[in-house]
Amino acid sequence: MSKKRVDPRLKTLIENGVKLGERTFIMIVGSKGVEQVMNIYYMYTKAANVAKDSVLWCYKKDLAFSSNQKKRLKHKMHNKGEAENAFELFLSTTEIKYVYYKESHKVLGNTFGMLVLQDFEAMTPNILCRTVETVRGGGLVVVLLTGMTSIKQLYNLNMDIHNRYRGEDTKEITSRFNERFVLSLSDNKNSIVVSDELDVVPVFEHTLRIDPVEKKVEIKEELENLRCAYEEVQYLNEIVKITTTADQAKCVVSLFDSLKEKTLNTTISITAGRGRGKSAALGLTIACSVALGYSNIFVTAPSPENVKTVFEFAVKGLEIFGMKEHLDFDVVQTTKSEYGKAVVRVNIHQNHRQTIQYILPNDTAQLSQAELLVIDEAAAIPLPLVKGLLGNYNVMLSTTTNGYEGTGRSLSLKLIKELREGISKYSNGRLFKECTLTEPIRYSSNDQVEKWLNKLLCLDASNTLMHITSTPSPDECELYYVNRDTLFSYNRDAEKFLQQLQGLFVTSHYKNTPNDMQLLADAPNHMIFILTGPVQNGEELPDILAAVQLSLEGGIARKRVSESWFRGKKETGDLIPWTLTQQFLDDEFAGLMGARVVRICTHPDVTNMGYGSKILQMLELYFTGCIVSLGEMEEESKADNDQKQMETDEVEVRKELEPLLINPGNRKAEMLDYLGVAFGYTPQLSKFWTCSGYQPTYLRLTANDITGEHSCIMVKQLSKNMGNWEEQYTQDFKKRFSLLLGFEFKSMNAVDAFKLVQCKNKDSSVSLNFDQRAIKRLEYYSKNLIDYHIVLDLLPCIAQAVSNGLDIQLTITQQIIFVGMGLQFKSVDEIGSELKLASAQVMALFNKAIRKVVTFLEEKKEGTNAKQSMEEEVKATEEIKENDDISEEKEEEKQSEIDPSIIRQRKLKLKELGIDDPDMFKINNTTHEIKEIDTLKGRIPTTLSIQRKEKVDKLQVKYPQKPKSGKPKKHFKKMAKK
| Beta strand ranges found along 245-328 (DSSP E) | 266-272, 296-300
Contact 436, 400 (CB under 8 A): no
Contact 269, 412 (CB under 8 A): no
Smallest CA-to-CA distance from 680 within 715, 714, 711, 701 is with: 711
Q: Which residues pair with 673 in a beta bridge?
A: none
Annotated binding site: 275-284, 442, 607-613
Smallest CA-to-CA distance from 414 within 685, 750, 715, 745 is with: 685
Which H or E run contains 932?
helix 928-934
Smallest CA-to-CA distance from 615 within 528, 702, 517 is with: 528
Which 8-state DSSP code applies to residue 377?
S
Smallest CA-to-CA distance from 457 within 488, 491, 479 is with: 488
Q: Is 427 strand, coil or helix?
A: coil
User: Residue 832 and residue 826: Cα distance in Å, rounded?
Assistant: 10
Give Cα 253 distance to the centre of its chain.
39
**Residue 977 CA: distances (Å) to CA of 272, 670, 917, 972:** 125, 97, 21, 9
User: Residue 22 and residue 233: Cα distance in Å, rounded?
Assistant: 35
User: Residue 847 and residue 782: Cα distance in Å, rounded?
Assistant: 6
B/e letters for 425-446, b = 16+ CB within 10 Å, e = fewer, are ebbeebebeebebebbbbbbee
Residue 915 neighbours by CB distance under 10 Å:
16
Smallest CA-to-CA distance from 435 within 282, 226, 244 is with: 282
Annotated binding site for acetyl-CoA: 607-613
**H, E, C per residue of 481-535:** EECHHHHCCCCHHHHHHHHHHHHHHHHHCCCCCCHHHHHHHHCCCEEEEEEECCC
* CA terminus-to-terminus distance, the chain: 152
Concatenated DSSP letters of 610-664? SHHHHHHHHHHHHHTT-S-------PPPHHHHHHHHHTS------S----SEE-G
User: Residue 394 and residue 974: Cα distance in Å, rounded?
Assistant: 126
User: Residue 571 and residue 375: Cα distance in Å, rounded?
Assistant: 37
Annotated binding site for ATP: 275-284, 442
Residue 348 neighbours by CB distance under 10 Å:
20
User: Residue 350 and residue 583: Cα distance in Å, rounded?
Assistant: 63
CA angle centred on 109, ends 104 and 110, rounded to 5°: 75
Q: Is 42 left (phi over 0), alpha (psi -120 to 50) or beta?
A: alpha
